[in-house]
Amino acid sequence: MEEKTTGSLGGAFVVGGLIAVFAQVIMLVLSNVLPVADLVPPVSLVILGLVGVVLVLCGAYQKLNEIGGFGAGIMFCGLVDAVAGVFMGGAMENGGNASEGVKAAINSNYSYTIPADRCNGFKNSIKPLLDSGRMELVAEISAELTEETNRNVRQLLEKHGDVGLIWCWNQTTLLSCMKTLKDLGRTDILLCGADLSSDMAREMLDPASNLIVVTTQQPYMMGFIAVENAIVAYSGKDVEDTVVVPVSTYAKEDADSLNKYLDSFKLN
């Protein structure tokens, strides 16, 4: 569901910037106190999620929203892809074809709010990996449609043939990138992104697949909650300005979750 945003552009800049700085401070503190570096991304995500929930429940987020408008939405808009970054980092370090100091590329889009938030959320989540030298972001390509993704991925690999991982911001670019890598015989490159589909789920169940993590929103729950709140509003009761719908994450090693996802498409 969309948020009601009323803040000014300046307020959005200030609030969004403060939230982003707060997230980075959490990661830096955890990197110094946790005994295992792999715990930093997931623990940071849990803390940020809890902070967001507390702010919503106590009404503070609504006040931030009045001041910062869409800037306050940074806490949630990039969450899908922040989760992708967390799980991708774990997959990168625990298996697959990636190695220490893997070279990564992003298929991004900053032309409107949704993809921009996704890309920024993902980049913020991998910052500990970049800072530690375990990952190097060597390039960003921009695409939204199938043909431009195909063209740009090919151009990317001509310049950076040693790329070991690519993240794509939506379903169209992820599917196109997956096909392009197969056509080029570059299944050594790890792939992850957003917006799971049945084709992707089946691909991830293939032991030879290089698609390792996909995060996705829950459209059924979004629609259900939307109707539920519409009924509440129609009855004259107050409805929260912001409703948080949890993100789903599907990883290659979790075959049970992928099979359950595919089962949801079967007709009764």
Say if CB 117 and CB 78 are below 8 A apart.
yes
Same domain flag for 188 and 221: yes
pTM, whole model, 2 decimals? 0.63
Shared domain for 191 and 156, answered yes or no, is: yes
Q: Is residue 141 part of a domain?
A: yes
| Residue range 206-237, pLDDT digits in tens | 999 999 999 998 888 888 888 998 998 899 99
Residues 6+ apart with CB under 8 A from 208: 187
CATH number of the domain residue 198 falls in: 3.40.50.2300
State whether 104 and 186 are in the same domain: yes
> What is the DSSP secondary structure assignment for residue 36, as one 8-state letter?
-
Shared domain check, 236 and 120: yes
CA angle 211, 212, 213 (to 5 degrees): 110
Are residues 134 and 96 located together in one domain of the fold? yes
Q: What share of the chain is helix, strand, coil (3-state, %, to 5)?
A: 60, 15, 30
Q: Does residue 70 sit in the same domain as residue 197? A: no
Are residue 82 and residue 56 in the same domain, yes or no?
Answer: no
Number of domains in the chain: 2
Residue 43 lies in a domain: yes
Among 59, 77, 95, identify where a domain stops: 77
Pick 45 or 213 by higher pLDDT.
213
Q: Single out the residue in 77, 103, 120 at which a domain terminates.
A: 77
Q: Looking at the structure, do residues 22 and 105 belong to the same domain, yes or no?
A: no
Among 268, 130, 265, 106, smallest CA distance to 194 is for 106
DSSP letter at 266 equals: S
Same domain, 146 and 251: yes
Q: Extract the tokens encoding 49.
A: 């999620």
Q: Is residue 268 part of a domain?
A: no
The phi, psi pair for 78, rounded to 5°, reads: -90, 10
Mean pLDDT across the chain: 78
**Interatomic CA distance for residues 246 and 46, integer angstroms:** 12
Same domain, 102 and 201: yes
Cβ contact 92:98 at 8 Å: yes
Q: How many CB atoms lie within 10 A of CB 267?
A: 3
Q: What is the pLDDT of residues 17-39, one digit of tens each?
A: 566 566 667 766 776 777 765 56
> Contacts for 232-240 with beta carbons within 8 Å, 24 or more apart?
240/56, 240/62
Whether 148 and 58 map to the same domain: the answer is: no
Residue 13 lies in a domain: yes
Residues 109 and 230 both lie in one domain: yes
Q: What is the mean pLDDT of residues 183-209?
A: 95
Q: Of 53, 77, 101, which residue is a domain's last?
A: 77
Q: Does residue 183 form part of some domain? A: yes
Least confident range from 25-29, 102-106, 127-131: namely 25-29
Full domain range(s) for residue 40:
1-77
| Residue 89 domain-assigned (yes or no) | yes
Asked whether 145 and 172 are in contact (CB, 8 A), the reply is yes
Are 23 and 74 spatial neighbours (Cβ–Cβ below 8 Å)? no
